[in-house]
Amino acid sequence: MLSDYGVNNESIEVSDKEQNITNIQPPFIAQFGADFVAVEKVDAEQVSFFWKGVHQVLPKDKFTREWSGIVLLAEATEKSGEPDFKIHRQAEILALTKQVAFISASILTDFTI
């Protein structure tokens, strides 16, 4: 899907996780247990990441025990974006306009009765 949106991406498997995690430039997506997390910062002592929308910080050794070593790296470019964005946006605005018109007509009908 990232490729469809023009986002350069690559997945890699890191060997020697404890040693090499500090060599990966955040942000990146990491397979963590049965889930995926967004890693925002890694230093010699700890890893800061978002898991299910909640900010977490774990000692580096504890994080690397749960981490599969799989990483998704992605980088947006000037050409990145939703395919057919203008068409989708116009359809969204039209749907919203119809909804507002329906609600307005309903309210006006209630006042005229």
- The pLDDT of residue 55 is 97
For domain 1-81, give its CATH number from 3.90.1410.10, 3.40.309.10, 3.30.70.120, 3.90.70.10: 3.90.70.10
pLDDT of residue 52: 92
Residue by residue, what is the 3-state secondary structure of 9-45? EEEEECCCHHHHHHHCCCCEEEEECCEEEEEEEECCC
Beta bridge partners of 55: 50
Neighbours of 37 (CB within 10 A): 20
Which pLDDT value is given to residue 92?
A: 72
Domain limits, the chain? 1-81, 82-113
The whole-number pLDDT of residue 84 equals 56
Question: Going residue by residue through the chain (113 aa), what tens digit of pLDDT does each one get?
Answer: 666 666 677 788 988 998 889 999 899 999 998 999 999 999 999 999 999 999 999 999 999 999 999 998 886 666 655 555 566 567 677 777 777 776 766 677 766 55
